[in-house]
Structure 1
Amino acid sequence: MSDERTSPRRPQVFRLDEAAITMAPPEPAEPAFPPPVPAPEPRRAWGMSLAGLFWSALGGVLSLMAYVGLSQLIGDLFARAEWLGYVGLAFTATLLAALVAILAREIAGLARLTRLDDIRARAEKALAEDDRTLAESVVRDVLRLSAETPSLARARTDLEGHMSGIIDGADLMHLAERTLLAGLDSRARQMVSDAARNVSVVTAVSPRAVMDLAFVLYSAVTLMRRLARLYGGRPGTLGTVRLVRHVLGHLAVTGGMAAGDTLVQQIVGQGLAARLSARLGEGVVNGLLTARLGLAAIAVTRPLPFTALPAPRLADVASGLLRKAEEEEAAASRRQ
């Protein structure tokens, strides 16, 4: 018995199609890598931050104070004379109607700035992916933005005639930029150049630094608003605050007044700032700062990125500052 158990099994020959033969199922293959561990679910943040909660509560308190004050005022007016009460009601209704109109205008201005940002983001995506459908949607939005500019009527007609053609997405974006924005870019450069020249002249003759600072801030904010209107945005007060923040953020990302600009190299390399008088030097620097802010405003308010057309440089919009400063310095030296 033990010999039979320990004896090796002899080799046998069989056929796979025999009825007595059964095939064992294949063993499951072991995974080469361990199964991924599911990431822990992020903790849900509060629906409103502490700052948002504070401002909401403050707005509610101020609204209640205004309501109680107005109701007490109207009650006192009716107690004095009935016609005074109705006059108070009329003024209150006019005040509320004006407040609603102002809020509606501010919301519309913020919405238009947001629309410009959205169009520019989709335009960059259409250019990167050469997406014809997305590019056509972007171009139609730009056409609607330019509908309020009478000088672009012929350009809109020409561009609409090319919309039905077989054009790639990137080429359609380039065509829209050349057709619609070339004239606007030229006007924007002129606006920036005029603002920089005015700031340079006024701050050069201004007797006080406080007046210089106030005029530079006023000119820069006014220039940003004008550029936004030129490209289709109509910012109100809140929209202007957002636009200024956007421009300053763009300057922070791009490095502000870059030292590689040709105009800055000309000032530093030729020692022009050292040869100019103190007032003329301050005027040139203030004009350059205004021009740099204007270029940043063009970059953040233009609905399409600069691809087919060259982006304006500091030397393009502020080159006259140096020439004018040199002429004034030469005239002053001749008088001496």
Structure 2
Amino acid sequence: MSKTKKAPIVIELDTLPTKSKRTTPKSKSVLNDAHLSPADAPAIIDTPINGDAMQSVAQIAAARPSRLLRFLGWAVFTLFGLVISIAFWDFTMDLLARNVWLGRIALGLIAAMILACTLIVLRELGAISRLRKIDDLREVSEQILVQGDLVAAKKHSDKIAALLNGRDEIGWALAEYHEHSNDQFDAASQMHFTENTLFQPLDRLAQKEIESAARQVATATAMIPLALADIVIALTANIRMIRRVAQIYGGRTGTFGSWRLMKTVAAHLVATGAVAIGDDMLGSIAGGGVLSKLSRRFGEGVVNGALTARVGIAAMEVCRPMPFVALKRPKVTALMKNALVGFFG
């Protein structure tokens, strides 16, 4: 019995037309679209990451109410104070008519409340006055660097050292300043010596605060999917960061002082155009590619953290009694690198 070899089976397929005048629905046959190539697929539009949370925070902080709204706020606040005062007065008089001792206790409590409110107002005014003093010191520093007056430079440096006196974290820097302050022979050397000696450790402390705030905002944006929640967290973290930076450079801020300082920093950002993404390679690194492809929320968090770092740098420029001359202004990329290293570490 001989074995016969089986011939191969050939199945002929109808050639598909390259062009068809009649269009058919896609659901009828998949083979009708076989002539299409991947290049014919519609492009996927990747919306850029702009850091919406920090953009909203900057707009809220930089917004200045109109005169009409400020007049309305003053009128409402005055009316509310008048109503509260009359209510306290009527309550105390009625209580005195019923029982003298209870009325006296109520009067004592009201007096204690008024004293506490007065002390709070005085503290706020003192904090604002100290911030204005720092602004004046920075303006005088810029003038001395231009004029080159050695006597004025030494007097001004002593004022800055007096502002920072009593700080334990820079006690050794103050001692070194007082030891070698008279060894400088021109105004530029005197100002550079003061900046290098007194502000180098303070700049490091301020950068640590900025890195911590940037890491917190980036984490909150990446982990919390709620839009309003990340705006609230970013606003709170930025106000706390600005307050800490002001305290590092010798400023004392209360509640109203912190908000005023936040508005000053936001105005500085808007004036310098540092709110928008574009420099420090953030657009190509965070907003344009790798991180947004890996996780859009993570890329949004990195951008918001980078914008927080920019706010921190602006706070350093506003709260620093001396401008950046001898020491380099910190970079956003370096701060974000340290912040993300601390996050993953």
Q: Which band: TM-score by shorter chain?
A: 0.7 to 0.9
Post-superposition CA distance 1:169-207 (Å, at most 9, x none): 121110000000001111111211122122212221113
Asked which structure has the greater CA Rg, the reply is: 1
Shift of 1:259: 5.0
Matching of residues 1-336 of structure 1 within 5 Å: 63-257=81-275, 261-267=279-285, 271-320=289-338
Post-superposition CA distance 1:101-135 (Å, at most 9, x none): 10111011101110110100000000111122322
Report if the CA contact (8 A) 1:78-1:85 is conserved.
yes
Gap regions ≥5 residues in structure 2: 1-66
Q: What SS does structure 2 have at the residue aligned with 1:164?
A: helix
Q: Larger relative contact order (C-alpha < 8 A, sep ≥ 6)?
A: 2
Which amino acid in structure 2 is aligned with residue 121 of structure 1? E
Which amino acid in structure 2 is aligned with residue 153 of structure 1? G
Distance 2:339 2:281 in 1: 10
Distance 2:210 2:202 in 1: 12
Distance 2:342 2:78 in 1: 55
Q: How has the CA–CA distance of structure 1 residues 315 and 74 changed in structure 2, closer, same or farther, with 3 Å as cutoff? A: same
Distance 1:213 1:258 in 2: 17
Q: Quick one: percent identity of the two aligned structures?
A: 35
Distance 1:50 1:270 in 2: 42
Shift of 1:310: 0.4
Distance 2:230 2:78 in 1: 40
Distance 2:236 2:72 in 1: 31
Report if the CA contact (8 A) 2:214-2:336 is conserved.
yes
Gap regions ≥5 residues in structure 1: 1-48, 328-336
Q: What SS does structure 2 have at the residue aligned with 1:193?
A: helix
Count of residues paired in the alignment: 279
Deviates more, 1:241-250 or 1:271-280: 271-280
Distance 2:124 2:341 in 1: 41
Distance 1:103 1:310 in 2: 38
Q: How has the CA–CA distance of structure 1 residues 145 and 196 changed in structure 2, closer, same or farther, with 3 Å as cutoff? A: same
Q: How has the CA–CA distance of structure 1 residues 264 and 254 changed in structure 2, closer, same or farther, with 3 Å as cutoff? A: same
Report if the CA contact (8 A) 1:284-1:321 is conserved.
no
Shift of 1:276: 2.7
Q: What SS does structure 1 have at the residue aligned with 2:228?
A: helix
Shift of 1:91: 0.8
Shift of 1:226: 0.6
Distance 2:204 2:69 in 1: 43
Distance 1:320 1:166 in 2: 35
Distance 1:121 1:228 in 2: 17
| TM-score under structure 2 length normalisation | 0.73
Q: How has the CA–CA distance of structure 1 residues 63 and 212 changed in structure 2, closer, same or farther, with 3 Å as cutoff? A: closer
Q: What SS does structure 1 have at the residue aligned with 2:243?
A: helix
